Amino acid sequence: MLLPSSSRTLLKRWINHTGVFDLTAKNRLRGQISGIDQLSVLVQFTAPYGGLRGRLKEQNSTDIRGHCYQKYSQMLPSNATMAPRGSIEPVRFTKNITFFCNRKQTYEKDNQSLRLTVALDRPLVFIFAWLQASEKHLAKYAEFYLEQGFDVLCVHITPWQLVWPVYGSQKVAADVVKFLSNNDFPEGIVIHGFSVGGYLWGECLVKLQADPAGRRVLEKIRGQVWDSLADITEIPVGVPHAVLPHNPTLQGVLRNYINYHMKLFHEEATQYYVKCTHLFHYEPAICPALLLVSKTDPVGTEKANNRLRGIWESVGVKTSLKCWDKSPHVGHFHKHRDEYIELLLAHLRALDLPMYNRKAKL
């Protein structure tokens, strides 16, 4: 059964936007995707890693059903200029890493080592964003942490970087590890991750495990918060929901493709997801953790997060879990704002952060 012309157009636009697979490229594999509801579509798959240079080029925007969704990385000014945007300013540090600040500030660095010219004088919260996170939504979390006296740094990956990790997410993880390794953080680091951000942190853990100084880097982290943490088995559920939130039909098509992709490209992709998941569960940063979940979230499930809590407790990570009866994936802050903030504040005060220790002595 063929898709309606409007759905085919929309799917092709998303394909061209992310570069995951291409309907018109040469050197393709042909595969048949069969949907749960007997919906099928013939898709021609691009050979892995073909045309990387072209695929890595950013597009200005993608128009979906009359709405313009601008790619996150292109919303940001470089660290040399800061266009006035109100109280919260995003400042690009690398292609995938961005500072948010509420004061006139640049972050000069050595481009090879990513070492800051001027060291940070406040604790750092490192936000690992969910897939397709917008600047507007991330700024809400940045605002909270800036008000608490933190510097705020955010890292994100694209759908393409997720499904082709060797040339995508692992490159981003390398920059994160380089930044953490080559800078001093006397006031400590807190990680606040969302959904697929847990996978990206897992890629960082893989690189830290291979580095003799990796354990010393992990000791810089004083606390962690994981919101709607996505288990690796839920990638086929989470990715379609993130990139095609208003089109259930194409979500099913994309879900089938991702299942196909994970089976076909085990060596190029799936094996890395499995390794990252193992390290995330069994060799985490040994610091207090807060898990924020919902009973109605199909991606960051209560069952998977409860299992993670049990494993972390067994390896020495003090872990708290809050599960709401009803709130959407990465929507807990919006749905339960006051309680969410109370949980964050209580968690932060319990961490070994010099800033809070000094306040306690006053």
- Higher local confidence (pLDDT), 356 or 314: 314
- The pair of structure tokens assigned to 170 is 């692992």
Q: How far apart are CA 221 and CA 224, in angstroms?
A: 8
Q: Residue 24 to residues 10, 15, 17, 28, 250: CA-CA distances in angstroms?
A: 15, 10, 14, 9, 18
Q: Residue 67 to residues 61, 64, 101, 156, 278: CA-CA distances in angstroms?
A: 10, 5, 28, 22, 39
Please list, in sequence order, all residues whose beta carbon lies within 8 angstroms of the beta carbon of residue 72, skipping any fewer than 6 positions away: 129, 132, 133, 134, 135, 156
- Kindly tell me if the per-residue pLDDT of 63 is higher than 70: no
Query: What digits encode the pLDDT tens for the residues 180-218?
Result: 999 999 999 999 999 999 999 999 999 999 999 999 999
Is residue 19 left, alpha or beta, with left meaning phi > 0 and alpha meaning psi from -120 to 50? left
Mean pLDDT of all residues in the chain? 80
- Kindly tell me if the per-residue pLDDT of 277 is higher than 50: yes
In percent, the amount of the chain with pLDDT more than 90 equals: 60
Query: What digits encode the pLDDT tens for the residues 30-51?
Result: 333 333 333 333 333 333 333 3
- Kindly tell me if the per-residue pLDDT of 118 is higher than 70: yes
Q: Exposure of 5 by Cβ count < 10 A (0-12 exposed, 13-18 middle, 19+ buried)?
A: exposed
Model confidence, pTM: 0.76
CB-CB contact of 92 with 98 (8 Å): yes
Q: What is the pLDDT of residue 61?
A: 38
Q: What would you report as the CA-atom Rg of the chain, rounded to the nearest whole angstrom? A: 20
- Kindly tell me if the per-residue pLDDT of 9 is higher than 60: no
Work out the pLDDT band at 359, boundaries 50, 70, 90.
low
Q: What is the pLDDT of residue 12?
A: 53
Map out the domains of the chain with their CATH numbers. 89-358 (3.40.50.1820)
Q: What is the pLDDT of residue 238?
A: 75
Strands 62-64 and 67-69: antiparallel
Is residue 128 left, alpha or beta, with left meaning phi > 0 and alpha meaning psi from -120 to 50? beta
